[in-house]
Structure 1
């Protein structure tokens, strides 16, 4: 059996899989990923996270744990811990979306930013690890001493096995990894003044990176010869479960929304840096990734429900009614739409300075109008990011995983506005499943049920695309230019 650990921004999931009978899920335990919030600062509470993982492993059941011979770890990227020479933590585990290290990024020259992109394939941004490391060194450490940086899955591996290691797709999110040489970049470390920080050796996803320490075995019931592996960055791991191929685009939804496509080589384009497009090494290190993320998806939907005090059931009822009408060719009389920059914007204008905007509201706007406008706006944002990431004619189809697969209205809007088939993969826990496949070194993928949403050729889709072109794009550009100019 394989035990997968999936650490997400919102939730953490432990899943036990039977690998001999079509990858059957035996048991899953889920809990909220613990955080510490202090005004505008947000940290992942690593002490609580670790204790919850240990205590919840026991809930998998003693009989199941005796059969577990591999543990795979997938997680969000960028966040991690700084350790001193005695491997003791220094400072907090800053959440990937926290912006306290923005001043580090602001002090980079244009030449330094360009050099960073040409080495790491990532635009210099506060979300990645490098600025967090520099901030922690400044606030908590001594620049004359030696330190280690471990991302979330690396640190969990260390606690489970005592070994230091990381994986390619995780290393690719640090802003310190040279994609061309596949080595840690001393040049980038020098730019950030973190030359005294060492990073772990990089291994392939699924590789044996150590066995469970005896102390952990005694606490949990895991076998001491059970080996542990890092399978990668959660969106990349989820794509493995979708059997993503070249020419296909992955739409991975959760707290954020990620767009991912695969390529065979590296081609770092200067204009892509300004658009916030990220390159990386895939969980299969023979391939590379072209990736971008929209900071808001599930988080905006959650805000919408909490602010309007509506339940998930009420939201789904409204979406079902709107979907039925939409399929019949009926649009809301009052079409509103949202620009969901609640946590800043993603591609093509990656910035933490932008704000959300809702257009088209009047005194007759109903809840159904707002629900439609919510998902219309999320779809417009996705369309803009997709057309920036990859040429539309280079996309054969879009594979969707995550909560979006339960949302008929959202999926049909995407099919019509993107003019692509949307394949909604009905798989339970794509990241956990992908982690199981990688840890089991599976070359094939178990076929999952899927539903295909074909573009509807009617006046509604034409009208919505006209709104995108004539309303959304001009207002988007004006809004973003205004926000960036007043903050300069």
Structure 2
């Protein structure tokens, strides 16, 4: 591998925008993250201000470069990871006509239900690989057309946050195969916009960005933007891929039978395959990583988002203690949860605070606490939250293994890996060893690897295996696993029973 210096991986997340500066040995030279957040103007809606994310992106790249002590001439490329399923209309000049509606936006839930029951929708899933849910841009476009017709008619294009950032930087509209394959509008087999999906949405392919490989390079930054980021105007910008597929790459889960499980704001279970695979039951997704590498899996809505809700509602004392310098708030919460035995003394939490995606794909689901008694306290709820999120991931893993076969290995990524308790609970519930690689989160590292491949600094994505540091392993305790199997059966039965009830309530 040749080259003069450093690569930057950028992750445009749901709640945080991050940038990491890596050298050619995969060592972190600089890192910076900024909480970007999202707005909820109405219950069930979730939006991001695209211009704010653009400015945050300039800031995190520039700050990471400064923290690395890097000269502009040392940066060989900048590559991007991005959250999936965002979409917003823009006018002829690229000005947003609304905020960007992100994956957590549920306003199009009724559209998704309609498509799931329609034979045409099922046929489209087989071509496009995205189970129908309010998160899917196809559903959002139909909702926009039916409920905001004036804005829909004014719209010249429909784009995501990453597309907006690349437009602002380079004046062109491009989208990587990976993000495109998460829209419900992209044909997995032809790697083009699907004509039937476009017809259903009511738009033309000219209103979408040009699909390009994840190694696609753009150059020619505006002088002001380059200066803000500490870069040369000719620095290569690599479009990259989606956060989910790059998380697999970042932990080396790109060989058969190696599963990546992540918990960030949401969560997911994913495995690599060498061709598109869809599920007859529409429980799982199929997304592109490159034109030769595919990721199948299933996302859950409620991961760290639920733990943050728990912090805000029940652990204010720990928030105050953290502000007083007595520890990090989540470490304090984890200590409370660790004081409770596996199974939370008979408390089960179904953590569906924002509906659920895989394997149920039901926006009407809501949280349920089962077995609550007088002896339970907030520390029980903390552990039951962790267990409930891991039960959700296990239900996805079971569905996925029907398509891909048993998992030979499980590698964990995401913010939850900073907690040994989270990782141990996951291992116990899966009944399988969980491997955690230290260092940066997988999506940033995966993006940087794509940048190296794109610029010729690496021959292929297998360079990732040279970068992975010594792993920490969490072996399952079989007594705990046996207890969790019993509780998981109860969890599954409740999910099946409530599925129609919540739909009838219209929540």
Q: Does TM, scored on the shorter chain, surpass 0.5?
A: yes
Partner of 1:456: 477
Give the alignment of 1:106-255 within 5 angstroms.
Answer: 106-108=113-115, 110-137=118-145, 139=148, 141=150, 147-195=156-204, 198-244=207-253, 245-255=255-265
Deviations 1:430-467 (A, max 9, x none): 21111111111143221222112222233x43222122
SS of 2:218's equivalent in the other structure is: coil
Aligned-residue offset at 1:197 = 5.0
Residue in structure 2 matching 1:356, options 367, 377, 381 = 367
Deviations 1:315-350 (A, max 9, x none): 12224445xxx6xxxx57822111011110122211
Does the CA-based 8 Å contact 1:147-1:196 persist in structure 2? no
Correspondence 1:316 to 2:334: yes
Going from structure 1 to structure 2, the CA distance change for 1:465 and 1:55 (only over 3 Å counts) comes to: closer
Correspondence 1:81 to 2:88: yes
Going from structure 1 to structure 2, the CA distance change for 1:386 and 1:16 (only over 3 Å counts) comes to: same
Aligned-residue offset at 1:28 = 1.8
Give the alignment of 1:331-410 within 5 angstroms.
Answer: 331=342, 334-391=345-402, 394-410=406-422
Structure 1: distance between partners of 2:152 and 2:344: 62
Structure 1: distance between partners of 2:416 and 2:227: 40
Going from structure 1 to structure 2, the CA distance change for 1:447 and 1:57 (only over 3 Å counts) comes to: closer
Residue in structure 2 matching 1:431, options 423, 443, 449 = 443
Aligned-residue offset at 1:148 = 2.2
SS of 2:9's equivalent in the other structure is: strand
Give the alignment of 1:250-265 within 5 angstroms.
Answer: 250-265=260-275
Give the alignment of 1:235-314 within 5 angstroms.
Answer: 235-244=244-253, 245-271=255-281, 273=282, 275=283, 277-282=284-289, 284-309=290-315, 310=318, 311-314=329-332
Partner of 2:495: 476
Aligned-residue offset at 1:140 = 6.2
Going from structure 1 to structure 2, the CA distance change for 1:193 and 1:104 (only over 3 Å counts) comes to: farther
Does the CA-based 8 Å contact 1:17-1:26 persist in structure 2? yes
Does the CA-based 8 Å contact 1:256-1:296 persist in structure 2? yes
**Count, aligned residues:** 473
Partner of 2:326: none
Deviations 1:386-421 (A, max 9, x none): 111223952112110112222223322322322211
SS of 1:334's equivalent in the other structure is: helix
Structure 1: distance between partners of 2:15 and 2:153: 36
**Mind listing any 5+ residue stretches in structure 2 that lack a counterpart?**
1-5, 319-328
Give the alignment of 1:43-62 within 5 angstroms.
Answer: 43-59=47-63, 60-61=65-66
Correspondence 1:14 to 2:19: yes
Deviations 1:76-122 (A, max 9, x none): 01113323333333322112211223344355461231122122011
Deviations 1:27-65 (A, max 9, x none): 222111143331223210111221222244433338533
SS of 1:82's equivalent in the other structure is: strand
Going from structure 1 to structure 2, the CA distance change for 1:162 and 1:455 (only over 3 Å counts) comes to: same
Going from structure 1 to structure 2, the CA distance change for 1:82 and 1:25 (only over 3 Å counts) comes to: same
Q: RMSD in angstroms over aligned alpha carbons?
A: 2.4
Does the CA-based 8 Å contact 2:15-2:38 persist in structure 1? no
Structure 2: distance between partners of 1:116 and 1:332: 41
